[in-house]
């Protein structure tokens, strides 16, 4: 029996977050430049998005470019930005065909203007789609996101539009870039690394973590289905004991 057939569609994670790791190592193993790994990784993104639509996962968030990635060699950063632009422009038709809404989170204003414009255009063209929301975390840092939320709330308090006693978890979450997205139930990281790397720190307070040795360019929908099967075998207690869940 394949992994897809083992999935209980009534217990799907509504939101899956992915750290797409291992593109550079994959390229090195092939004797290629790192950008070749990133280009090959785009094929994995397409297959995983389509896999989510196939089984009914409503939200998929992928860590496409972190704020720390700006520290990489300028040649690789430029290649990544060019790849981002070309991929966005090429995939709008496919997104619409599969009824997928494109979204983005992060310090988007730090991206090249061409990226900003093409991203905004693609999001506008897919805004009415509702089978799945694909969120790209671009120039994203969870610490940056939390600090920005604190600044927004502090400004409201300063302007006397908010009192200290009104600040709670729900209000704080409403100031995050993911305010309209449910917290992820499952986070997948490829390439054998066991870190969450400044990714959705607030949102992943109770997320199930799944790590695989598979490098991202080799990760396909059957690997996604395997991760979901593993997720469905876990008992999610949220601080309770097993007997309270029955």
The catalytic site residues sit at 21, 69
User: Is there a contact between 186 and 11 (Cβ–Cβ < 8 Å)?
Assistant: no
**Could you give the CA distance from residue 31 to residue 26 in angstroms, rounded to a whole number?**
9
Q: How far apart are the first and last CA of the chain?
A: 29
**Could you give the CA distance from residue 45 to residue 115 in angstroms, rounded to a whole number?**
18
**Could you give the CA distance from residue 30 to residue 26 in angstroms, rounded to a whole number?**
6
Number of Cβ within a 10 Å radius of residue 232: 17
**Alpha helix (H) ranges present in 30-128?**
34-55, 74-97, 113-125
The secondary structure of residue 182, as a DSSP letter, is P
């Amino acid at each position: 029996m394949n992994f897809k057939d083992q999935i209980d569609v009534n217990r799907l994670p509504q939101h899956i977050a992915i750290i797409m790791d291992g593109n550079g190592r994959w390229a090195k193993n092939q004797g290629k430049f790192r950008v070749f790994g990133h280009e090959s990784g785009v094929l994995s993104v397409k297959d995983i998005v389509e896999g989510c639509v196939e089984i009914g996962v409503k939200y998929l968030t992928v860590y496409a470019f972190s704020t720390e990635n700006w520290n990489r060699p300028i040649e690789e950063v430029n290649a990544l930005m060019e790849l981002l632009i070309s991929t966005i422009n090429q995939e709008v038709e496919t997104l619409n065909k599969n009824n997928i809404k494109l979204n983005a989170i992060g310090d988007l204003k730090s991206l090249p203007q061409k990226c900003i414009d093409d991203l905004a255009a693609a999001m506008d063209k897919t805004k009415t789609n509702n089978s799945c929301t694909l969120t790209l975390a671009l120039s994203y840092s969870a610490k940056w996101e939390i600090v920005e939320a604190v600044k927004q709330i502090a400004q409201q308090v300063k302007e006397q539009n908010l009192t200290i006693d009104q600040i709670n978890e729900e209000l704080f979450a409403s100031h995050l870039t993911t305010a309209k997205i449910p917290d992820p139930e499952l986070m997948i990281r490829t390439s054998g690394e066991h870190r969450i790397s400044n990714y959705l720190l607030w949102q992943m307070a109770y997320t199930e973590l799944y790590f695989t040795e598979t490098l991202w360019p080799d990760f396909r929908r059957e690997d996604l289905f395997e991760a979901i099967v593993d997720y469905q075998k876990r008992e999610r207690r949220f601080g309770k004991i097993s007997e309270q869940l029955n």
